[in-house]
Amino acid sequence: MLPIEDVYPQLVEQLTSHKTVLLQAPPGAGKSTWLPLQLMTDQNFKRIVMLEPRRLAARNIAQFLAEQLNEAVGEQVGLRIRQEVKVSSQTRLEIVTEGMLTRMIQQDPELSDIDLLIFDEFHERSLSADTALAFALESQAALREDLKILVMSATLDSERYQRFLDCPVVSSQGRTYPIEERYVTLKDESQWLMQIAPMIRQALSEESGSVLVFLPGQKEIRYVANALHSELEQSPNIELCTLYGDQSKAHQQAAISPAKAGQRKIVLTTNVAETSLTIEGIRVVIDSGKRRAGVFNLRTGVTELATLAISRASAIQRAGRAGRIEPGVVYRLGSKEQFERRDAHDKPDILSSDISSLILEATVWGTNLADLPLLDRPSNAQYQQAKQLLIELEAIDKQGKLQPLGSKMQALGTEPRYAHMLLKVQQLEPEFSGITRLACYFLALQDSKVKSAPELSSTLRQLQYQAPPQFKKQLQYWCKRAKVHDDGSELAIEHIAIVVALAYPDRLAKRRGQGFVLANGAGVQAHSEYWLDTAFLAIAQLGGHKGQTIFSATEFTPELLKPVLPHLFCAKTVCEFEQKNSQFIHQDRVYLGQWIVSEKPSSTPLDQAARSQAWLNVVKQQGLRVFDTLGECASLLVRLQLAAKLYPEEFSPCSEADLLQSLENWLAPYLNDIKQYNQLKKLDLKVALLARIDWQKQQRLNDLFPERIKVPSGSNIRVNYQLEGPARLAVKMQEVYGMSDSPVLCEGRLPVLLELLSPAQRPLQLTQDLAHFWKTSYKEVQKEMKGRYPKHFWPDDPATAQATNKVKSRM
């Protein structure tokens, strides 16, 4: 009996009385297999759709469930994944993945005839799963109150998810058998891969049963397989299998099936086997603690695969594979302390990936990202990058409004870059014969992950005549989608730069020094042996450190692309001051993104407005220090900032940053007659600054923050204002005799610190309470000063004495 059976009545009851339910069930509970089949068999729901995040798991679950009914997939149990759809009028339980559910909701927001949506292994938080759940919740709220949603996983952050979904939680016990944890410490983290084969040997000698080994990717799988090859040749009772997403069905099935009688199996796998997949006979798990994940670089727009440490939740998932049939063992690479320091959960895709597909889906859905019910929200930087890409792909306009091509792109059900390319090449086919077939070759190369030479065109030529099976499979798929026949004729390779530009307009690059600069302004590194004299590159594959290494590209000329992608090119008349040569540059330029395609002297006269704008740009770049008169304005700037701080309802902010942001408002009128850089430097900044406020506010500023204060001696003493702390007034002590209290500024809001000086202008006392000083510390000062400065007046009662700036003999 599976653990999920114990909570089944409770789950059905909750689904009956609530719209949404959260199910937490660890590995082995039966939530992905027994539960959906039982819900269908009991006829609690007429039609169920279950989302699986991985194609391998979806295919195997569908196959397993169909076998339980002695049926083929496509009858009562259906399957809908990329390149494989098996459904019929009999289908009552459909397993879907790869964004398929999102497409179903977009095409039919009411989800007609569907009673229950199940989101399996939701903790994996793929972008497509987040998108589909958001749309499902909106459909449920606005169109289908009777629609039920079941979100389930082995390692959910239950409290957080429950708050987000506002629903009850049903918890099930997990594996039936205990799992012993063993930790293998590492002396050198960089040598972690070399430790895997010895761990496998140790597990084989210490434990019985088959072994499941989790590794980050295919490269590591090949390394470990080679390390074990010679000794396994001597052990006929041990079978070595590999399991990863890009394998054929036959290879995957061989890895999943139980070992033959009297034999043991070693399965080297990626994290495809982490969830919703049962591998028969496994009772030992070896966990490298690593995974391969995409790390998105906002600057270059590249998602680069990186090897990362897994979270504790993933580690628990992996260990769960060992306790399905009997007590098991997990060997973890690293110490227990390292394990406990791992993140609790893996970072969701929505926070670490290109979200252009999500924005396009939301736009077609008729909403914006801010209004979608999302558990986590991407950053503004992610949003701006994705929005700019969709503008370049002609899916939306600058205001974010959906364009006709954007609707067609979304309907294709593939990523926006590929969708844009496919639709455009079909439009261009009459003029550029063979470009659609060439695009299919390019897409097959991208999807099959076949290694490409740096020069893209040579790789495609070679693949036409000598291609591995995975490339041929992808080529057949894309040719079918594009409705084009691969007739074996020569590829129209001369169009390859257009094909690349249609998918990667942001990766069009211009030479800069020894490297190149992308259309978005990011610098990238060229290959040391290729494109040495090339001015422009269309980059197909970009990655490496910080996503800045060109792996595959081809040369192009802007003249070739301009008729095809005119919206990428922007003509501007530019007026700039070049300080090096002390001259204006007045040019007509054509830009592609941030780099200049062409430039020539402008055909229009240099007008006053353009010149003033150029001076404003100089000030924005250099700051207020460009003005020689800045020093004379130091006190005024501080007074204006204090006024904004203490009287925000009367005075606007006046920091340098605020001033530079509003140059057009206050500085531009003073630039009309400026024709030379030296004239700009000598501009009277004080006049321009005061002109920001009207005459009444200028008077108010002088009343609140006077430049000078008149003291009892008749002298007008300059006030030194500071942004933090009191104003300072440095004055000879004799000049404030007769002043009983410290001066007051800003209606008492700003204290004044008196710096009382000796006749030789040396500090004697700092005080903000003059009356207290006269009564206390003054006596000590008087005693000392009488001896040092006998010619000066040192009265016994300074609070009532006559102030003076003279010696006694001249008073």
- Choice between 713 and 675, residue whose per-residue pLDDT is larger: 713
pLDDT at 810: 67
Instruction: Provide the angle, in degrees to the nearest 10, between the axes of the packed helices 416-428 and 496-503.
Output: 140
Contact 48, 118 (CB under 8 A): yes
Spell out the domains of the chain, with CATH numbers in brackets.
4-171 (3.40.50.300), 179-350 (3.40.50.300), 621-703 (no CATH), 709-810 (no CATH)
SS3 state at 682 = coil
How far apart, in Å, do the first and last CA atoms of the chain sit? 111
Q: Cα dist. 300→520, 558, 595 in Å?
A: 8, 20, 15
- Which residues have C-beta within 8 Å of that of residue 212, sequence separation ≥ 6? 267, 269, 273, 279, 282, 284, 285, 286, 321, 322
Sign of the alpha-carbon dihedral angle for 771, 775, 776, 779: positive
For the stretch 410-416, contacts whose Cβ atoms lie closer than 8 Å and that sit 24 or more positions apart, written own/partner, are 410/106, 410/360, 410/361, 410/364, 412/481, 413/99, 413/100, 413/103, 415/356, 415/357, 416/356, 416/357, 416/360, 416/389, 416/390
SS3 state at 214 = strand
pLDDT band for position 504 (50/70/90)? very high
Partners of residue 508 on adjacent β-strands: 538
pLDDT in tens, 92-141: 999 998 789 999 999 999 999 999 999 998 888 889 999 999 999 999 99
SS3 state at 561 = helix
How many alpha carbons fall within 13 Å on the CB side of residue 1? 7
Q: What region, left, alpha or beta, does residue 122 occupy, with left being phi > 0 and alpha being psi -120 to 50 degrees?
A: alpha
- Phi and psi (nearest 5°) for 437? -65, -40
Q: How far apart (Å, rounded) are the C-alpha atoms in residues 245 and 230?
A: 26
Average pLDDT value for residue range 345-374: 92
Average pLDDT value for residue range 332-338: 93
Contact 68, 22 (CB under 8 A): no
Amino acid letter, 87 = V
pLDDT at 275: 64
Q: How far apart (Å, rounded) are the C-alpha atoms in residues 746 and 284?
A: 77
pLDDT at 811: 56
pLDDT at 417: 96
Average pLDDT value for residue range 31-52: 92
Instruction: Please state, as a whole number, how many other Cβ atoms lie within 10 Å of the Cβ of residue 497.
Output: 24
DSSP 700: H
- Phi and psi (nearest 5°) for 627? -90, 125
pLDDT in tens, 1-38: 788 899 999 999 999 999 999 998 877 788 888 999 99
Residue whose pair of structure tokens reads 């001051």 in the numeric block? 577
pLDDT at 174: 64
pLDDT at 586: 85
Q: How far apart (Å, rounded) are the C-alpha atoms in residues 478 and 463?
A: 15
Instruction: Please state, as a whole number, how many other Cβ atoms lie within 10 Å of the Cβ of residue 356.
Output: 23
pLDDT at 67: 93
Q: Which two three-digit tokens encode residue 599?
A: 């430039």
Q: Which two three-digit tokens encode residue 689?
A: 């600054």
Amino acid letter, 244 = Y
Q: Which two three-digit tokens encode residue 312?
A: 């504790």
CA angle 329/333/334 to nearest 5° reads 120
Strands 583-592, 595-601: pairing kind? antiparallel
pLDDT at 638: 95
DSSP 692: T
Q: How far apart (Å, rounded) are the C-alpha atoms in residues 581 and 44?
A: 81
Contact 146, 133 (CB under 8 A): no
pLDDT band for position 684 (50/70/90)? very high
- Which residues have C-beta within 8 Å of that of residue 28, sequence separation ≥ 6? 2, 3, 174, 175, 176, 320, 323, 324
pLDDT at 297: 83
Overall residue count recorded for the chain in this entry: 811
Largest CA distance in the chain: 123
Question: Based on C-alpha coordinates, what's the Rg of the chain?
Answer: 37
CA angle 534/535/540 to nearest 5° reads 75
- Which residues have C-beta within 8 Å of that of residue 78, sequence separation ≥ 6? 62, 86, 87, 88, 91, 93, 94, 95
DSSP 390-402: HHHTTSB-TT-PB
CA 355 to chain centroid:
8
- Choice between 413 and 424, residue whose per-residue pLDDT is larger: 424
pLDDT in tens, 132-177: 999 999 999 999 999 999 998 876 666 788 889 999 999 887 656 7
pLDDT in tens, 733-753: 999 999 988 898 999 899 999
pLDDT at 252: 79
How many alpha carbons fall within 13 Å on the CB side of residue 690? 16
- Choice between 322 and 714, residue whose per-residue pLDDT is larger: 714
- Which residues have C-beta within 8 Å of that of residue 804, sequence separation ≥ 6? 713, 734, 735, 737, 793, 811
Residue whose pair of structure tokens reads 């504790």 in the numeric block? 312
Q: Which two three-digit tokens encode residue 587?
A: 């040019």
Contact 329, 202 (CB under 8 A): no
Average pLDDT value for residue range 672-678: 85
pLDDT at residue 57 above 90?
no
Average pLDDT value for residue range 380-398: 95
pLDDT at residue 568 above 60?
yes
Q: How far apart (Å, rounded) are the C-alpha atoms in residues 166 and 20?
A: 8
Q: How far apart (Å, rounded) are the C-alpha atoms in residues 290 and 278?
A: 21
Q: How far apart (Å, rounded) are the C-alpha atoms in residues 759 and 791?
A: 10
Strands 328-333, 282-287: pairing kind? parallel
Sheet holding 752-757, edge to edge: 727-732, 752-757, 763-767
Q: How far apart (Å, rounded) are the C-alpha atoms in residues 373 and 131?
A: 9
- Which residues have C-beta within 8 Å of that of residue 251, sequence separation ≥ 6? 241, 242, 243
pLDDT in tens, 691-709: 999 999 999 999 999 999 9
pLDDT at 188: 87
pLDDT at residue 378 above 60?
yes
Q: How far apart (Å, rounded) are the C-alpha atoms in residues 320 and 312?
A: 12
- Which residues have C-beta within 8 Å of that of residue 21, sequence separation ≥ 6? 11, 14, 15, 148, 149, 150, 151, 167, 168, 169, 170
Picking from 473, 470, 445, 469, the residue whose alpha carbon sits closest to that of residue 457 is 445
pLDDT at residue 650 above 60?
yes
pLDDT in tens, 214-254: 999 999 999 999 999 888 877 888 889 898 877 777 887 88
Exposure string for 179-189, b = 16+ CB within 10 A, e = fewer: beebebebeee
How many alpha carbons fall within 13 Å on the CB side of residue 357? 24
Percent of the chain at pLDDT exceeding 70: 98
Contact 644, 662 (CB under 8 A): no
Percent of the chain at pLDDT exceeding 90: 65
Find the range with the poorest average confidence among 8-22, 303-317, 748-762: 303-317
SS3 state at 140 = helix
**For residue 226, with 0-12 CB atoms within 10 Å meaning exposed, 13-18 middle and 19 or more buried, which class applies?**
exposed
Instruction: Please state, as a whole number, how many other Cβ atoms lie within 10 Å of the Cβ of residue 214.
Output: 31
Picking from 148, 150, 169, 133, the residue whose alpha carbon sits closest to that of residue 24 is 169
Amino acid letter, 94 = E
pLDDT at 276: 57
Q: Cα dist. 757→507, 714, 764 in Å?
A: 68, 16, 5
Q: Which two three-digit tokens encode residue 147?
A: 């629609």
Contact 389, 356 (CB under 8 A): yes
pLDDT in tens, 788-803: 988 888 999 999 999 9
Average pLDDT value for residue range 485-502: 94
**For residue 262, with 0-12 CB atoms within 10 Å meaning exposed, 13-18 middle and 19 or more buried, which class applies?**
exposed
Picking from 270, 256, 264, the residue whose alpha carbon sits closest to that of residue 213 is 270
pLDDT at 176: 63
Average pLDDT for the chain: 90
Contact 217, 243 (CB under 8 A): no
Find the range with the poorest average confidence among 469-478, 577-586, 681-690: 577-586
